[in-house]
């Protein structure tokens, strides 16, 4: 019995390792601490302590494609609605977890379904925290999409802007340039940041902007980004207004190759 289980006061990070090498540990743990602060509780460890603990765990195990889950949550010391007096627990776990999709899907893309669920308004939820409770929306959106025969869900926000997939950020290609939704209502992913940085180094223009469903016919390609999924193309988006199809292009392939090289995939 924990406060987090009852009231959703928990945060987490998903990290990757390759043959014992941890990727972006500092950035992930900085975000973990920031996520907790947005939920108004403090994790009793520093970024360096969390990095060291994770590396110690990796040194004692051997996973080819390691997936690390770091959690911090409010415990059972206080079970009232307010977590002001709750104790804070922290845990780090690791297990073998290859990339989740098939080679065919990484080559040709995923089929997405427009979810009826919306990303919450930033005035009603801490949308820039990787808060466990917020992933209820993601879980329900992805489950419904899978039951209907799709690979993942695409979510809008409360103003009908395209936001993200169930747990991945999305990019579009138009006229040789990258476009990605402005993060009004969702987490700015670290893989998203990697793509923006690498694209700029390759002189590929990147724009963060509001993107709507009516913009999809003009988009030539699309792909998802995330620690758990890597870089995976989008083949189609099914909506009540029609099916929008995309074809992985040279920019998508360049981004995939840069990511694979950087992460040893």
Does the active-site annotation cover 130?
A: yes
Residue 81 confidence (pLDDT): 92
The residue annotated as part of the active site, out of 19, 21, 60, 130, is: 130
Would you say domain 3-96 falls under CATH 3.30.930.10?
A: no
Prediction pTM value: 0.96
- Round the CA-based radius of gyration of the chain to a whole number and report it: 19
Give me the residue spans of the domains in the chain.
3-96, 103-263
Q: Which residues of the chain have pLDDT under 70?
A: 265
Residue 78 confidence (pLDDT): 83
Residue 264 confidence (pLDDT): 75
Residue 1 confidence (pLDDT): 82
Residue 42 confidence (pLDDT): 97
Assigned architecture for domain 103-263: Alpha-Beta Barrel (3.20)
């Amino acid at each position: 019995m924990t406060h987090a289980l009852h009231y959703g006061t928990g945060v987490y990070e998903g990290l990757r390792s390759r043959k014992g090498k941890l990727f972006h540990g500092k950035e992930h743990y900085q975000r973990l601490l920031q996520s907790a602060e947005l939920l108004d509780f403090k994790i009793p460890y520093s970024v360096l302590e969390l990095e060291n603990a994770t590396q110690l765990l990796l040194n004692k195990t051997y996973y080819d494609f390691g997936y690390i889950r770091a959690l911090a949550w409010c415990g059972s010391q206080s079970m009232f609605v307010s977590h002001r007096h709750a104790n804070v627990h922290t845990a780090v776990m690791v297990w073998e977890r290859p990339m989740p999709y098939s080679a065919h899907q990484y080559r040709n893309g995923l089929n997405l379904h427009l979810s009826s669920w919306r990303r919450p308004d930033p005035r009603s939820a801490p949308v820039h925290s990787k808060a466990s409770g917020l992933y209820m929306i993601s879980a329900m959106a992805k489950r419904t999409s899978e039951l209907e025969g799709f690979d993942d869900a695409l979510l809008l926000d409360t103003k009908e802007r395209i936001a993200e997939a169930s747990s991945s950020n999305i990019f579009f290609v138009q006229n040789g340039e990258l476009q990605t939704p402005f993060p009004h209502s969702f987490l700015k992913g670290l893989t998203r940041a990697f793509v923006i940085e690498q694209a700029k180094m390759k002189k590929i223009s990147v724009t963060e902007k509001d993107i709507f469903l009516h913009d999809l016919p003009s988009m030539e390609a699309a792909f998802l980004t995330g620690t758990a999924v890597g870089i995976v193309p989008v083949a189609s988006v099914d909506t009540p207004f029609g099916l929008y199809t995309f074809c992985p292009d040279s920019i998508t392939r360049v981004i995939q190759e840069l990511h694979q090289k950087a992460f040893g995939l």
